[in-house]
């Protein structure tokens, strides 16, 4: 029996223990294990070699590898894992970037965008990542199990990773009822216009993890909700009676899509369409004066006809090339190393020979960079001048798909939705030693403070989830602090009871689905965060400022502005301390840790875990004419150059007397005096050039004059030395 | 380590080494020129000022640039770059003034061929024909002037929107390789005019040399200068140990 068969046996055993007893389970598992083991041996070596896209007309396999037929009872959802693994080794696929985050053996790599555990009421925005990125917390460090993680962020997960980490101890987990959230190949690869990733989220919201991939295709619809089923429900066996069948998840395949031999066509091109990437990787500017998405342009590469996967390629291992210089995956491989800005446009000098040294890969224009001293190409990332929002005096706020669920509508949306992401911030990036643009978030969370042991040891923070802190200090959160903002205490939205984020909260939607039969049509409503029962009142109460016109129209329907005046923060900290005597509590925001001093006042101090989290900006790339410095050197070297002296907003849900901005140069390790001196030199630069060229002209004139004089001298000398001709 | 770093270290180190060897094998064995009867004006105040400016700016330029090149193999940045470019402008103007001031004196003459043929640098005789400047000085002068022109133009052209990346790299390479050649040549020139020619440093700082020094190292100029001094009615100067 191979490894997979053993796993299936174990899984089957577990499922059957509750329903049919130990003995029956063992027998059944053994019976199921044998055909599964035989199937595993019938793999076909998948040897690539053609650009032809295979037509994926294939028999579907269920969660345990058994073939799907319409006559099954119950009819099970298909599994990409078991349907595709005949040609595509699932165990190789799952090593890809989109799935391997929880694997502790995988190096963290270049920092990327973390997930954010965010909540408006408690002013929480905790950066989470399974990867050891700077200033991020591992979900388990903040008490978030893989189950809770999947329910919170399953909206933008392509499956796999934490969705298959079912061995983590968590009493609230219901993996046996929900099944695993296996890799959903369609999330990225589906070429079917009717493929619906939103439906994928709705299924996650109902805890229909095993059904999510099937429901998001146009092949089937799924009704019912695993969330409404008892903890001993076995989805493989199906409901025991008709009453249970009304609530239980059920798949309804489109019979017309099944061929004579039970095969169905799945439109799965090897290169994912851009619209699939955009679902998780979109960014929108928010705030006063921000243009709407339709007013803005796409990345210049997309407008030129390229696709995401032209640069961000991968093989079966799904280790997508991220496209930054020095990427370990591309080391020593010119075909990959030149899939960077510089590699494509300028070529890779390290390539020994051939076209990769020349640039212009994929037809990329070789940039002229006229008048740009080469030091810029060494000290700056290409994206510094070419990507992200054009910098102004102050950073702008943006929202992203992963952080703000831009693909979904609901009360989680709006310009006040946490986390507050600002861009562009030009920082010195440790991983490549250049100055480059990043998006930045200042973490905000309540935490227990564990005093450091030993002299000089700093305090350790233990972040608290929003529902935990709300439960411990509910009265303080509901109290009215008129001095700061008129608040209706009753209207203060409750955080999710299962610690779900205010973005489409799968956990709450699922648990609220009492009637699974009604769950499907009610899903969009159910997807609303549970805490936003009175969003209109909440928003009115917590919004002291007059929002933009567009926001006015949506007032009450969008995320309320966090309302955390100093008095409330003090009250919450006092309430927490009263609930848990002997423990110190603090609130991290604006880059500092705030705690109550002996006299009961707020005291702020710097703390390493309060430092902002940031990740590099790769897109959108602007046309060359829109690059920084395209019009004048002083765009970056002037006295008020945003890149050097721009203000980085210290965006925080609470304003506790912390600095509202930080200067940009502080993130670059640059000396402001030096920047001023450098800017001043540009005042004299025109004169400098005039004097320089005049001097060069004088030197050249003298050299030329003496060269002529020397040549004449040499000619005379040669004439003297030349033998004289015969005299006549 | 880049090729330029290696060449810089080898070139500058080699130049210093050659000077040391020359000093041990040649300069130390050279007989003292003697003090002579008169004090001759070799450099007037303007020339001395010019020399000091050239020397100071050149030192700053060389240190700032090769500190960066040899130190971390990269281009200058920050204050170093600002100091370098500022001094570079002063140096360029000084070089132009140098040309105006000394170009005529550095014109090659027939006797320079004799000096070169006799390998004046390696000769301990010291009485090879030389005018105000010997052939070695002239070779350096006419080498340094175009090198400075290259240095100046490569810098200026990189500051105006004329050249693209390839051109910028070419300018940068030309600039640093020219600078390296100039630094090596200058080390040799500085040595030749000071340590290898006892009394030369005093000539630069104080402007005057003894007639003995002039007869030894620049006999043609010395004879002319002595005659001019005598015509002017100057009495023989007191001998000083400095010369």
Q: Which residue has the tokens 């930045």?
A: A440
Examine residue B35 and state whether it is found in any structural domain, yes or no. Answer: no
Give the range among A556-560, B18-22, B25-29 with minimum mean pLDDT: A556-560
- Dihedral over alpha carbons A651, A655, A656, A660 (to 10 degrees): 50
pLDDT number for residue A511 = 40
CB contact under 8 A, B168 and A368: no
The predicted complex's ipTM stands at 0.91
Give the contacts of A2 (CB within 8 A, at least 6 positions apart).
A37, A40, A41
Examine residue B239 and state whether it is found in any structural domain, yes or no. Answer: no
pLDDT number for residue A42 = 64
Any long-range contacts for B166-174 (C-beta under 8 Å, 24+ apart)?
B168/A369, B168/A372, B168/A373, B168/A374, B169/A374, B172/A373, B172/A374, B172/B75, B174/B150
pLDDT number for residue A530 = 34
Q: State how far residue B39 is from chain A, nearest Cα, in angstroms.
A: 32
Measure CB to CB from residue A374 to each of B82, B96, B169 and give the nearest one. B169
CB contact under 8 A, B165 and A713: no
Examine residue B26 and state whether it is found in any structural domain, yes or no. Answer: no
Indicate the pLDDT class of residue B146, thresholds 50, 70 and 90: very high
Measure CB to CB from residue A374 to each of B107, B159, B172 and give the nearest one. B172
Q: Which two tokens stand for residue A134?
A: 């700077």
- pLDDT tens-place string over residues A411-426: 888 888 999 999 999 9
Measure CB to CB from residue A370 to each of B93, B107, B162 and give the nearest one. B162
Q: Which domain holds residue B68?
A: 43-226
CB contact under 8 A, B89 and A691: yes
pLDDT number for residue B212 = 83
Q: Which two tokens stand for residue A331?
A: 């080391």
pLDDT number for residue B183 = 95
Examine residue B27 and state whether it is found in any structural domain, yes or no. Answer: no
Per the structure, how many domains does chain B have? Answer: 1
pLDDT number for residue B233 = 62
- Chain A residues near residue B172 by CB distance under 8 angstroms: 373-374
List helix spans (H) across chain B. Answer: 3-25, 45-72, 78-102, 110-117, 135-159, 165-193, 200-206, 211-217, 219-231
Paired with A460 in beta bridges are A450
CB contact under 8 A, B159 and A674: no
In whole angstroms, what is the distance from residue A95 CA to residue A92 CA? 6
Examine residue B134 and state whether it is found in any structural domain, yes or no. Answer: yes
pLDDT number for residue B235 = 54
Examine residue B184 and state whether it is found in any structural domain, yes or no. Answer: yes
- Chain B residues near residue A677 by CB distance under 8 angstroms: 79, 82
- Reported as half-sphere exposure (CB side, CA atoms, 13 A), residue A259 has a value of 10
Residue A187 — φ and ψ, nearest 5°?
A: -55, -40
- Chain B residues near residue A373 by CB distance under 8 angstroms: 158-159, 168, 172
First to last CA, chain B: 46
pLDDT number for residue A679 = 92
List of chain A residues with pLDDT < 50: 1-39, 483-502, 505-550, 552
**CATH value at residue B195:** 1.20.950.20
pLDDT number for residue A465 = 92
Indicate the pLDDT class of residue B232, thresholds 50, 70 and 90: low
Nearest residue of B to residue A366, measured between CA atoms: B165
- pLDDT tens-place string over residues B31-43: 777 666 678 888 8
pLDDT number for residue B165 = 85
Examine residue B37 and state whether it is found in any structural domain, yes or no. Answer: no
- Chain A residues near residue B78 by CB distance under 8 angstroms: 671, 674, 678
- pLDDT tens-place string over residues A27-63: 444 444 444 444 455 677 777 788 888 889 999 999 9
Nearest residue of B to residue A687, measured between CA atoms: B89
**Mean pLDDT, rounded, for B184-205:** 87
**Mean pLDDT, rounded, for B137-153:** 94
């Amino acid at each position: 029996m191979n490894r997979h068969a053993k796993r299936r046996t174990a899984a089957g055993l577990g499922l059957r223990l509750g329903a049919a007893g130990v003995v029956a389970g063992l027998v059944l598992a053994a019976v199921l294990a044998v055909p599964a083991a035989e199937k595993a041996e019938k793999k076909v070596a998948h040897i690539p070699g053609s650009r032809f896209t295979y037509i994926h007309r294939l028999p579907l396999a269920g969660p345990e590898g058994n073939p799907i037929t319409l006559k099954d009872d119950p009819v099970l959802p298909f599994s990409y894992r078991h349907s595709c693994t005949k040609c595509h080794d699932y165990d190789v696929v799952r090593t890809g970037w989109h799935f391997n985050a929880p694997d502790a053996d995988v190096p963290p790599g270049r920092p990327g965008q973390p997930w954010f555990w965010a909540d408006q009421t408690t002013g929480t925005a905790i950066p989470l990542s399974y990867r050891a990125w700077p200033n991020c917390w591992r979900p388990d460090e903040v008490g978030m199990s893989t189950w809770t993680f999947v329910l919170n962020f399953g909206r933008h997960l392509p499956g796999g990773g934490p969705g298959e980490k079912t061995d983590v101890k968590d009493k609230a987990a219901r993996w046996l009822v929900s099944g695993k959230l296996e890799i959903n190949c369609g999330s990225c690869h589906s070429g079917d216009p009717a493929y619906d990733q939103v439906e994928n989220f709705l299924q996650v919201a109902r805890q229909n993890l095993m059904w999510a991939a099937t429901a998001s295709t146009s092949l089937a619809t799924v009704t019912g909700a695993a969330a409404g089923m008892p903890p001993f429900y076995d989805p493989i066996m199906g409901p025991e009676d008709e009453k249970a069948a009304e609530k239980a998840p059920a798949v309804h395949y489109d019979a017309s899509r099944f061929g004579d031999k039970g095969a169905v066509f799945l439109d799965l091109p090897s290169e994912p369409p851009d619209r699939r990437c955009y679902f998780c990787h979109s960014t929108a500017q928010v705030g006063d004066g921000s243009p709407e998405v339709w007013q803005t342009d796409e990345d210049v590469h997309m407008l030129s006809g390229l696709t995401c996967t032209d640069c961000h390629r991968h093989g079966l291992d799904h280790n997508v090339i991220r496209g930054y210089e020095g990427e370990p995956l591309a080391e020593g491989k010119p075909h990959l190393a030149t899939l960077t800005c510089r590699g494509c446009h300028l070529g890779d000098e390290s390539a020994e020979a051939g076209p990769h040294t020349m640039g212009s890969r994929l037809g990329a224009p070789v940039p002229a960079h006229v008048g740009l001293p080469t030091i810029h190409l060494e000290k700056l990332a290409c994206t510094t001048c070419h990507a992200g929002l054009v910098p102004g005096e102050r950073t702008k706020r943006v929202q992203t798909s992963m952080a703000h669920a831009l693909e979904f509508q609901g009360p989680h949306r709006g310009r006040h939705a946490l986390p507050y992401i600002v861009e562009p911030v030009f920082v010195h990036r440790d991983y490549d030693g250049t100055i480059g643009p990043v998006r930045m978030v200042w973490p905000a969370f309540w935490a227990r403070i564990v005093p450091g042991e030993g002299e000089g040891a700093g305090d350790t923070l233990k972040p608290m989830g929003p529902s935990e802190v709300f439960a411990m200090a509910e009265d303080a959160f509901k109290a009215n602090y008129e001095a700061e903002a008129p608040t209706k205490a009753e209207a203060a939205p409750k955080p999710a009871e299962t610690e779900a984020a205010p973005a489409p909260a799968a956990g709450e939607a699922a648990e609220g689905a009492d009637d699974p039969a009604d769950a499907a049509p009610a899903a969009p409503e159910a997807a609303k965060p549970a805490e936003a029962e009175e969003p209109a009142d909440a928003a009115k109460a917590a919004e002291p400022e007059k929002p933009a016109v567009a926001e006015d129209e949506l007032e009450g329907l969008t995320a309320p502005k966090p309302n955390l005046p100093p008095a409330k923060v003090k009250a919450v900290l006092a309430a927490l301390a009263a609930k848990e005597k002997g423990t110190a509590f603090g609130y991290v925001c604006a880059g500092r840790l705030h705690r109550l001093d002996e006299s009961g006042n707020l005291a702020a101090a710097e703390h390493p875990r309060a430092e902002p989290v940031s990740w590099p900006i790769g897109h959108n790339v602007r046309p060359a004419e829109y690059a920084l410095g395209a019009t004048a050197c002083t765009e970056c070297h002037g006295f008020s150059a945003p890149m050097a002296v721009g203000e980085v907003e210290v965006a925080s849900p609470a304003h506790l007397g912390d600095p509202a901005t930080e200067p940009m140069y502080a993130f670059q390790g640059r000396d402001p005096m030096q920047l001023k001196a450098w800017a001043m030199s540009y005042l004299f630069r025109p004169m400098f050039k005039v004097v320089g060229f005049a001097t060069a002209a004088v030197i050249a004139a003298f050299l030329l004059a003496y060269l002529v004089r020397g040549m004449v001298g040499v000619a005379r000398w040669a004439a003297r030395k030349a033998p004289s001709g015969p005299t006549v | 380590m880049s090729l330029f770093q290696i060449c810089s270290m080898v070139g500058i180190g080699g130049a210093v080494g050659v000077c040391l060897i020359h000093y041990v094998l040649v300069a130390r064995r050279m007989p003292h020129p003697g003090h002579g009867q008169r004090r001759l004006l070799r450099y007037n105040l303007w020339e001395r000022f010019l020399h000091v400016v050239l020397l100071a700016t050149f030192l700053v330029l060389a240190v700032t640039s090769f500190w960066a090149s040899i130190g971390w193999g990269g281009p200058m940045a920050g204050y170093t770059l600002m100091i370098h470019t500022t001094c570079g402008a002063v140096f360029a103007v000084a070089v132009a003034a140098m040309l105006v001031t000394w170009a005529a004196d550095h014109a090659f003459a027939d006797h320079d061929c004799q000096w070169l043929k006799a390998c004046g640098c390696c000769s301990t005789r010291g009485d090879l024909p030389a005018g105000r400047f010997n052939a070695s000085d002239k070779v350096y002068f006419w080498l340094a002037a175009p090198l400075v022109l290259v240095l100046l133009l490569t810098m200026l052209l990189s500051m105006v929107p004329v050249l693209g990346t390839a051109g910028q790299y070419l300018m940068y390479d030309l600039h640093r390789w020219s600078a390296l050649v100039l630094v090596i040549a200058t080390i040799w020139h500085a040595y030749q005019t000071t340590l290898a020619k006892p009394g030369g440093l005093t000539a630069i700082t104080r402007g005057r040399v003894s007639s003995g020094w002039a007869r030894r190292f620049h006999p043609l100029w010395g004879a002319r200068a002595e005659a001019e001094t005598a015509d002017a009615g100057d009495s023989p100067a007191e001998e000083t140990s400095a010369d």
